[in-house]
Chains A and B, each alone.
Chain A
Amino acid sequence: MLEMHAMAAIAGRDVLKFFRDRGRLVAAVIFPFTMIFLLGGTLQLNLGKSAGFNFIGFAFTGFLGMTLFQSTAQGLTSLMEDRQNDFAQEVFVSPVSRYSIVFGKILGETLVALVQVIPFVLFAWMLHVPLTPTHVALLVPVALLSCFMGGAFGLLLLNTMSDSRASNQIFNFVFLPQYFLAGMISPINVLPWYLAALSLLSPMRYVIDLARGVVFSGTPEYGRVVLLSPATNIAVLAAMFVVFMVAGTTLFVRRETSR
């Protein structure tokens, strides 16, 4: 119970920092506007008819999954920032378990990511992406799973970084290819074998596909848009989450004291 309060304090700090950062708040509105209105709208007008499905809905689910996954993963690297700013010392000398620190951090970044996707959902709804209350209700657990997956992935990456600069470089290297391999804005139904193999390794692919499985469920386009059944996506994400969390937390705890 006491550990729960510590996790809540760690998570609460991240949420507070987000709401006090005007730049991040503005970006949370401008980014979805740019991606859904401008990019999604343009693609729908030019490619939507030939593709045979709602491209705004396709782009919406792509950016939704990417934002949830990447925002949480990148948020975890603020542990690196804390270490450089010496605040991490305050956390690491406290009697809170290292596992609670990690879980609290993932929880906080999950809440931040969830707040960040609210404008996405509103813009998608304004552009007539067919989102019913049932879709929105089903997207909540999907969003949570996506964030947890991003958190576990970010934790694993954190152990490969030495400072904030390295973290930016590694993130570009790791996330940019996933935009294409996960089919964020371009379909990946047909890929050469080597890209298909790389695509299967991308955690973002399963996150986005799961969101599409919810938003496109019951539509005639489902078979052309969704790659795997939601059950398969959930099973793969759960397995990846367990592996990344165990490896990431073990490495993180060891690294903190075994310098």
Chain B
Amino acid sequence: MAAAIEVRDLVKRYRKGTVNAVDGVSFDVEQGQFFALLGPNGAGKTTTISILTTTLGLTSGSVKIAGHDVARQASAVRREVGIIFQHPSLDMNLTGEENVRFHAVLYRLYPYRPLYRLMPAAYRSQIRELAEVVGLGGEIFKPVRRLSGGMRRKLEIIRGLMHHPRVLFLDEPTSGLDTASRRNLWQYISDLRKRRDITICLTTHQLDEAESADRVCIIDHGRVVAIGAPQEVKSDLVHETLHIDAADRGALRSRLHALNMPFSEDGHFVVRLDGRTAYEVVHSIDQPLTMLRTESATLEDAYLRLLAGEDA
């Protein structure tokens, strides 16, 4: 089966640009995967997403979405993708339902009717069902300008999923949302992944949101600087450590030297695990310990380490 997203040597230089905004990016995303595209502001994430969703032309390279070439089969690509944009793209003059109806007609799901009650029964029941699923209920019939930021995001997700896309692009979907709304939204997306075999491509600044991704790709200055499962990226860049201490520090130090374990001292002993488990290390030390704590690297640690290295 073709990859859901196939990007090869993608280059984009804006007409008035002096450098490439995207500079030879390549990656694949398998069907059903949760893929996160990370990078600082101006790294080329939104440019990449814009090309992948056909709203921006590429300078060179090739991109295929669900087997369709974005340059030659843009219309087929558009039918396969759903997008939640970084900036809300709802029409504030319309109600939530009118925004969704507009989308449904543009995606050829239903014929256009000027009033909700004239729309086919199947549409009306789909609207009611989706509004209940995301907790919008009757609010969907209110003007969008009266909805909260969280509700607007949910509305955009309902809209983006109306045409059952194979690939869902989420371009910083939680920007501007409060903590409760963020958590709610991710719960909904997680439930969605369980129900449907949908590929998700996420760009975000909130690195904790990418922890549960199947694969992450970090780009900077338009280039891929790391790609792989979050665990791989983390272990390549940041070491898991064991923090220990003992009443007899001299004995503990000698023991660590004897075991040939790399460690540093920072008021206590910080031991790099390097693939060993914390249990194995503790088991091999016979001194009584006064402190015992493990520290796992987060994706954010790895990300910051990587970008610090890039800038150095």
Question: Which A residues are closer than 8 A to B by beta carbons?
Answer: 2, 5-6, 8-9, 12-13, 16-17, 20-21, 85-97, 256-259
B228 an interface residue at 8 Å Cβ cutoff? no
Task: Collect the chain B residues with CB atoms within 8 Å of residue A92's CB.
Answer: 55
Q: CB-defined interface of B1-20 with A at 8 Å, one 1/0 digit per residue?
A: 00000000000001100000
In the bound complex, CA of A6 to CA of B108 (Å): 8
Chain A min CB distance to B13 (Å): 11
Residues of A within 8 A of B75 (CB): 95, 97
Is the beta-carbon distance between A5 and B56 smaller than 8 angstroms?
no
Chain B residue numbers with a CB within 8 Å of A17 are 91, 93-94
Identify which of B76, B78, B79, B112 contacts A5 (C-beta below 8 A): B112
B 76-94 contacts with A by CB, 8 A: 76, 78-79, 81, 83, 85, 87-94
* Known contacts A87-B89, A89-B89; is-contact A259 B56 (Cβ 8 Å): yes
> Nearest A residue to B86 by beta-carbon distance?
A86
Q: Are A93 and B83 closer than 8 Å at their CB atoms?
A: yes
- B54 touches A (CB below 8 Å): yes
CB neighbors of A among B48-100 (8 A): 53-57, 75-76, 78-79, 81, 83, 85, 87-94, 98
Nearest CB on A from B299, distance (A): 28
Q: For the complex, is B253 an interface residue (Cβ under 8 Å from A)?
A: no
The CA of A94 and the CA of B15, in the complex, are separated in Å by: 24
Distance from B220 Cβ to chain A, minimum over Cβ atoms (Å)? 22
Q: B93 to chain A: which residues have CB within 8 Å?
A: 16-17, 20-21
Which residues of the partner chain A approach B14 to less than 8 Å between Cβ atoms?
259
Q: Once the chains bind, are B78 and A257 in contact (CB under 8 Å)?
A: no
Those of B207-261 within 8 Å (CB) of chain A? none
How far, in whole Å, are A8 and B56 apart by their CA atoms in the complex? Answer: 26
- Bound together, the chains give a CA A259 to CA B53 distance in angstroms of 15
Q: Tell me if A86 and B87 are in contact (CB < 8 A).
A: yes
Q: How far is the CA of A259 from the CA of B21 in the complex (A)?
A: 12
Identity of the chain A residue whose Cβ is nearest the Cβ of B54 in the assembled complex: A93
Contact B55 A89 (CB under 8 A): yes
Does the CB pair A9–B55 fall under 8 Å? no
Is B103 on the interface with A (CB-CB < 8 A)?
yes
The residue in A13, A20, A95, A257 that gathers the most chain B C-beta atoms within 10 A of its C-beta is A95
With contacts A94-B78, A95-B78 taken as known, whether A9 is within 8 angstroms of B91 at the C-beta atoms is: no
**Which chain B residue shows the least CB distance to A94?**
B106
A16 pairs with B98, CB closer than 8 A: yes
Given contacts A8-B112, A12-B114, A16-B98, contact A95 B55 (CB under 8 A): no
Q: How many angstroms from the CA of A87 to the CA of B89 in the assembled complex?
A: 4
What secondary structure prevails in chain A residues at the interface with B? helix
Query: In the bound complex, how far is the Cα of B310 from the Cα of A84, in angstroms?
Result: 34
CB pair A9 B112 closer than 8 Å: yes
Asked if A86 and B89 sit within 8 Å, CB to CB, the answer is: yes
Min CB gap B164→A, angstroms: 13
B291 within 8 A of partner (CB)? no
B42 within 8 A of A: no
Contact of B57 among A2, A9, A13, A257 (CB under 8 A): A257
A12, closest chain B residue (CB): B114
Q: Does B105 contact A (CB under 8 A)?
A: yes
Distance in angstroms between the alpha carbons of A251 and B108 in the assembled complex: 26
A2 CA to B92 CA in the complex, in Å? Answer: 26
- Whether, in the assembled complex, B111 has its beta carbon less than 8 Å from a beta carbon of chain A, the answer is yes
The 8 A CB mask of B189-204 against A (1 = contact, 0 = none) is 0000000000000000
B14, B57, B108 pick with most chain A CB within 10 angstroms: B108
The answer to whether A16 touches B105, judged by C-beta atoms less than 8 angstroms apart, is no
Q: Are B56 and A90 in contact (CB under 8 A)?
A: no
| B141 at interface, CB cutoff 8 A | no
**What is the bound-complex CA distance between A259 and B54, given in angstroms?**
12
Name which residue of chain B comes closest to A6, CB basis: B106
- Within 8 Å CB of B90, what residues of A? 87, 90
**B186 close to A (CB within 8 Å):** no
Distance in Å: Cβ of B174 to nearest Cβ of chain A: 17
What are 24 contact pairs spanning A and B, CB under 8 A?
A6-B108, A8-B112, A9-B101, A9-B112, A12-B114, A13-B91, A13-B102, A16-B93, A16-B94, A17-B91, A17-B94, A89-B85, A90-B102, A90-B103, A93-B78, A93-B81, A94-B107, A95-B108, A256-B55, A257-B54, A257-B55, A257-B57, A258-B57, A259-B15
* A258→B15 contact, CB < 8 A: yes
Interface pairs A-B: 3 shortest CB-CB? A94-B106, A9-B105, A95-B78
B56, B75, B90, B93: most-surrounded residue (chain A CB, <10 A): B93
Least Cβ distance of B212 to chain A in Å? 26
For residue A82, give the distance in angstroms from its CB to the closest CB of chain B.
Answer: 8
Query: Which chain A residues lie closer than 8 Å to B89 at the CB level?
Result: 86-90
0/1 interface trace, chain B 112-148, chain A, CB 8 Å (1 if under): 1010000000000000000000000000000000000
Q: Is the Cβ of B56 less than 8 Å from the Cβ of A257?
A: yes
Q: A86-B89, A89-B89, A257-B55 known; A5 and B108 CB under 8 Å?
A: yes
